[in-house]
Structure 1
C-alpha cells in the first residue's frame, strides 16, 4: 500500500465539457503545501518516500502531430524551480537539445510513500521506466495481471502499462495504430485488475496523465479541481491537516461545502497535454473512460439474477427441498473436509439446513481471504523483528459479530499456524460495552474451533470526552466527509487500526480471574475489515424497513443503492482512517468474485427479512458461519459500529467546541 499524490502546475485545464463536477464549490479558505502532503502521506507509507517531477515545455519549432509542440523530461524533485529558465537535453529523443523559458513551462510533481507488503526487494515510488513513463500506485493486484510471488505488483504494473498503445488518450482519438499486434490501451489494462487500487500514471508517448480508482472505491483518491484562487490540479490519497477549513461549522446542514477536496468518482480518467493554438500556453482536457471489462460492468450495475420469488420458491427454500438449482440439505448428512492453505478444516454436523448457495459463498470468501493474506512477501530485513518477538502479520477489526467472526475463522484456515492473530476491539465504555462483551464471547468460540491458534484480543479502551486533539486529526482524515456520524465512525476505525491497547495473558480458555492485562501494540500491517457484508446481505435496519414498505423489489433497490454509493459514503473515509496508522485495510467481502457469487443467488436466499433479527438478516452469512462451526455467532443479532455512534454524538460535539 502507498500514499500517492500529484500536483499539476502551469497548465490550463478545461473542465467546461466535463461531467466530473456536479456543481462548483465555493472557494476554499485553505491552501495545501508540498510539505503538508508529504507529511500526511508518510503516515500511510512509513517505509519510503520519494518524488519525481515531469517538466513540460512548449517549443514552437516542433510542428509534428506526434510531438504537438511539447517536450518533457523527468527530473528529481527540487532540481528545477517553476518558471526558471533551463536547458533540456533529451538523449533518447531525435529532437536534440531545447531551451525554453518562462510562462509556457508546466510541471507535474509525483509523490509516493510506500508501505511495502509485496516483493523481495525494497521499492521507492514513484516508479520510472526507461521510456520516461512515471507511476505511483496504491493498490493490490489479486488477479487479472500475473504477479510472481517475489515481485512487487507496482513494478509489474508499470511494465504492463509501458507496453500500452496511446490510442485511448485525448490526443489520439483515432483508430489504434497497433491493432492486431497484441497491444492494449491503459483503460484495458486497468479494467483487468482484480483488487483495490488508485493510480496516477504519466504516459510519455502520448503526453497523457492517467488517474483513477477501482470500481468500488476501495482505495482513497481525493481531487482538487483548479479554481480562481488555486489554479493547481491536485490528487491525493489523503487530505493534510492544513486543508481542513476550520472557519466553518463542521457538520454542514444545507449542503454547501467549502472543502478543498472532493472524493474522486470511481473510474478511469485522462488529462492529455497540448499547447494552446492561440497563445502557446500548455493546456489539457479531462476525459472519463469506460471500463473495458464486461464482467466488471455487470458488477457495477449490480443486477441480481432474481429478487422477486414465487410463493412455492419461498416455501421450498424454508423447508429445505430442491429449489430450482439451489439444493437445500441437512448439514448433518455428512462431514466435509476442505484443504486450504495450511489447515485442513473440518465442517462438523449440526442441526440446521444449509443451502448450496451458502457453500458457494463460503468458497468465494475463503479464496478472497487467502488472496489477501498469502500473496505477499514481507521485507524482513527492513522490519528487523527480534527473534524473541512473535510475528503477527494480519489482524482483524473485531467486534465479535457475525462478519468479523467469519473473517477470523477463515484467516485461521489460511494463515501459517505458527503466526498469532490479533483481534482489534475498540470500547468507549470499558468492559461493559456491548462490542467488548461480544468480542470476548467471540474469542472463546474461536478458541473452541481453533484451539492451537494464538488468538489475541487487543482491547483498545478510550474516552470520547478526552479525545479533543485526536478528533481534530481524524477530521482531516475523513475530509471531505463532514458529519458527526462520519467522525464517530472514523475515530473508532482510527483507534482500532492503531492496535494500541491491552491483552490478557494466557489462553482464551483461562478464566478471566486468572488472566493479567498487559500493554500491547499490534504490529500487523494487514487489517481485514468486514465492509460490504451488510450492504450485500441486507444487514442494516433500513433494509428491513424497505422490505416492509416496498417488498422484495424495494429491498433490492435499497441494496443496489448502498453498493453503488459505498465508494463515497464509506470506502474512501475508512481507507484514510485505517491507513493513517501505517496499516493496509483489506476488504474480503468486496472481492470481485464474492460480489459476483452473491449476485448470482436469488435475494430470498441471501436474506429473509420477514424472519426475526438474528435469523433472516444476512441469512446466507449465518449459514456460512454454521459451516465454519461458529454456531453462537450464527445467531447473533446485528451489532455494528453504528450502535454506539448516536450515543457518542454528545461527547464529540462537546470536545470539538471545547
Structure 2
C-alpha cells in the first residue's frame, strides 16, 4: 500500500496548505517511507514542474523500497498496487522494483504507447499509479480495471490558474481550495488508463487537456470489441448458457450435487484458494510470528468471510494467529462464530476474535474525519458503510482470554474482505427479484450488470477509509483470475434462485464451504454491513433520509 500525490504546475512548486494536507493524509497510508521528487520540462508554452510525492507501507519483499522510484533512465514511478500475477516475482522480491525495471527496460528507440500498455495489462492485482516516461515525454496514470485502489484527480477550469493534481486521498475541509478556481476533485474513472503527451499542444485549454496537453484515454473493453486505444479486459462476458430443462418453478429441499457441480466445486475451490494464497503469502511480520497476526479478516460471521478464513488457514503457518475483526455499534450482539470454526476446522490455531464495540459518542467524535476520507462520495449510505470499515480496520477492541475480556489492538497490516462474492454469485435480494420477474435471462442480465459496474462502485472509497490506519485491504473474490473463472461458469452452477433464501443464492460457494467443513456457515445469508454492524443507526441522519440522499 502506498500514498500517491502528484501535481503539474507552471510555477515553482512551493508548499501550500492544500499540498501539505494531502501529503500528511497520504503519509498515513504509508508510514514506512516518504519522499518527494521534482522534474522540470520545457514545452512550447512554458516551463512546467512535475512534482511527485509517495509514501510506502511495506508489505512485499525483505526491505522497504522508498518511492517514487527514479531509475537512471530518468523515469519516475509512484506505484500503489500489488502484483499477484502476470509478471514474474519471486518470493521475497519487491513488486515495485520488478515493475520499474520492466518499464525502465523499454528501449529508448521504442516510442509506442503499446510498450507501456503491454506491461501494465499483464498485471493481475489491484493498482493505481503515476508513471513519467522520460524518453517519450509521456505521463501515464490510472487504476486497475476493477477500481480496487483509490486515485482522485483535480482539474482547474480557470485559464488564469491552470492546475492538475492526482492524489490517493482527497483534501480535508480545512485545507481544501476546491471551491475556488473551479477546481473539482473526482475519482479517476477505472474505465481505462490515461496518458498525457507533453509534446502535443492543443489550441485551447479544455477539460480533456492539461496546460494545453491532451489527455488520452485507453479504454478497457471486452476482447471481441478491441480496437484502437482499447485494452483487453482479463475476463469475458458471463456465460449465458442455461439447459432447457431448468424450469422456473419453486423447489424445496436442497439441490443435488451432480457430476457437473462436483467439478465446479473442485475447480472453484482451487482458484479461490490460490487467490487467497497469493494475498497472504510473504507479508512481513511486525513481531514474533507466534504472537503477532500478519493477516486479519473483516469478519461478520457470514458465508464469504468464514470461507476466506478457512482458506487463509490452509496457507499460513499454524503457529501464527489470525485476527477476525468484528465491528458492532451500540447494543452489540455477541457473535459466537469464532468457537465454531476453531472447534470444527482449526483447533490448532489461535483465532483472535476481536469484538470492536463502538459507543455512540466515539462514533460521532470521528464522524467528520470519516466524511472527509470518503470524499468525494457523500451520501448517507456511504457514511454508514465507511464508519463500519473505518472502525473495523482500526482494529481496536477486546478479545476473550480464557474467559476474561482484555483489550486488544490488531497490528495486522493486511485485511481480507469478502467483497465481490455477492455481486458474482447472486447474493443480493435483487437477484432473487430479477429471477421472479424474468427467470434465468433476467438474473443473467442482473449479474452481468453487477460485474460491469464493480469498477464504478465504492472500492476507491473503501481503500481511502481503511488505509487511513496504515492497512491494506485485499479482495480474493475480485482477483481477475477468480472473476474470469466465475464469468465462464454457467449461471445455474453459481446460483439456483428457484430455491429459498439460504440455499439457492451463492449456491456454489455454499457447496465449497461445506467441503471445507463449514456446514453451519453454508446456511448463512446476506446482511449488509451497515445493518449487521448497526451503523445505519449511527450516522445521525433523520428517519426520512434514505441511503442515496446527500449528507446534510
Do Structure 1 and Structure 2 share a fold, with TM-score over 0.5? yes
The residue that corresponds to 1:143 in the other structure is 85
The residue that corresponds to 1:260 in the other structure is 184
The residue that corresponds to 1:285 in the other structure is 214
The residue that corresponds to 1:338 in the other structure is none
Helix, strand or coil at the partner of 1:150: coil
The residue that corresponds to 1:23 in the other structure is none
- Choose the corresponding residue for 2:276, options 366, 369, 375: 369
* Structure 2 residue 174 is the aligned partner of structure 1 residue 235: no
- How many residues align? The count is 525
Measure how far apart 1:289 and its partner are: 1.8
Measure how far apart 1:575 and its partner are: 1.0
Measure how far apart 1:599 and its partner are: 1.5
Measure how far apart 1:643 and its partner are: 2.5
The residue that corresponds to 1:117 in the other structure is 59
Q: Classify 1:124/1:276 alpha carbon distance in 2 versus 1 (closer, same or farther; 3 Å).
A: same
* Structure 2 residue 162 is the aligned partner of structure 1 residue 162: no
Measure how far apart 1:443 and its partner are: 3.8
d(CA) in 1 for partners of 2:92 and 2:201?
46
The residue that corresponds to 1:78 in the other structure is none
Measure how far apart 1:288 and its partner are: 1.0
* Structure 2 residue 295 is the aligned partner of structure 1 residue 394: yes
Helix, strand or coil at the partner of 1:416: coil
- Choose the corresponding residue for 1:37, options 15, 22, 38: 22
TM-score by length of 2: 0.87
The residue that corresponds to 2:545 in the other structure is none
The residue that corresponds to 1:336 in the other structure is none
The residue that corresponds to 2:467 in the other structure is 579
- 1:173-322 superposed matches below 5 A: 185-228=115-158, 231-242=162-173, 260-266=184-190, 267-274=192-199, 276=201, 283-290=212-219, 294=223, 302-311=236-245, 318-322=255-259
d(CA) in 1 for partners of 2:535 and 2:83?
40
Measure how far apart 1:314 and its partner are: 8.8
d(CA) in 2 for partners of 1:293 and 1:427?
41
d(CA) in 2 for partners of 1:562 and 1:602?
16
Measure how far apart 1:245 and its partner are: 7.4
d(CA) in 2 for partners of 1:113 and 1:609?
46
Mean CA deviation greater in 642-651 or 410-419: 642-651
Deviation per CA, 1:195-224, whole angstroms, max 9, x where unpaired? 111110000000100001111011111111
Mapped contact 2:152–2:185 kept (Cα < 8 A): yes
Mapped contact 2:133–2:139 kept (Cα < 8 A): yes
Measure how far apart 1:282 and its partner are: 6.1
* Structure 2 residue 307 is the aligned partner of structure 1 residue 406: yes
The residue that corresponds to 2:546 in the other structure is none
Helix, strand or coil at the partner of 1:585: strand
- Choose the corresponding residue for 1:602, options 480, 490, 494: 490
The residue that corresponds to 1:48 in the other structure is 33
d(CA) in 1 for partners of 2:177 and 2:380?
15
Mapped contact 1:53–1:108 kept (Cα < 8 A): yes
Mapped contact 2:387–2:535 kept (Cα < 8 A): no
d(CA) in 2 for partners of 1:453 and 1:552?
43
* Structure 2 residue 348 is the aligned partner of structure 1 residue 424: no
TM-score by length of 1: 0.74
Mean CA deviation greater in 233-242 or 203-212: 233-242
The residue that corresponds to 2:447 in the other structure is 559
Measure how far apart 1:645 and its partner are: 7.5
The residue that corresponds to 1:97 in the other structure is none
d(CA) in 2 for partners of 1:503 and 1:277?
61
- Choose the corresponding residue for 1:629, options 489, 497, 517: 517
Mapped contact 1:49–1:114 kept (Cα < 8 A): yes
Helix, strand or coil at the partner of 2:384: helix
Mapped contact 1:503–1:520 kept (Cα < 8 A): yes
Measure how far apart 1:486 and its partner are: 0.6
Measure how far apart 1:570 and its partner are: 1.9
- Choose the corresponding residue for 1:487, options 375, 383, 405: 383
d(CA) in 1 for partners of 2:246 and 2:125?
39
Measure how far apart 1:321 and its partner are: 4.2
Q: Classify 1:292/1:148 alpha carbon distance in 2 versus 1 (closer, same or farther; 3 Å).
A: farther
Mean CA deviation greater in 297-306 or 597-606: 297-306
d(CA) in 1 for partners of 2:540 and 2:354?
24
Gaps of 5+ in 2: 205-209, 543-549
d(CA) in 2 for partners of 1:186 and 1:243?
38
Helix, strand or coil at the partner of 1:467: helix
d(CA) in 1 for partners of 2:308 and 2:234?
24
Measure how far apart 1:582 and its partner are: 0.3
The residue that corresponds to 1:473 in the other structure is 369
d(CA) in 1 for partners of 2:311 and 2:150?
26
Helix, strand or coil at the partner of 2:377: coil
The residue that corresponds to 2:392 in the other structure is 496
Measure how far apart 1:489 and its partner are: 0.3
Deviation per CA, 1:617-655, whole angstroms, max 9, x where unpaired? 11111001001000000011222314347872564327x
* Structure 2 residue 475 is the aligned partner of structure 1 residue 568: no
Gaps of 5+ in 1: 12-30, 59-68, 70-102, 174-183, 249-257, 329-354, 507-514
CA root-mean-square deviation:
3.2
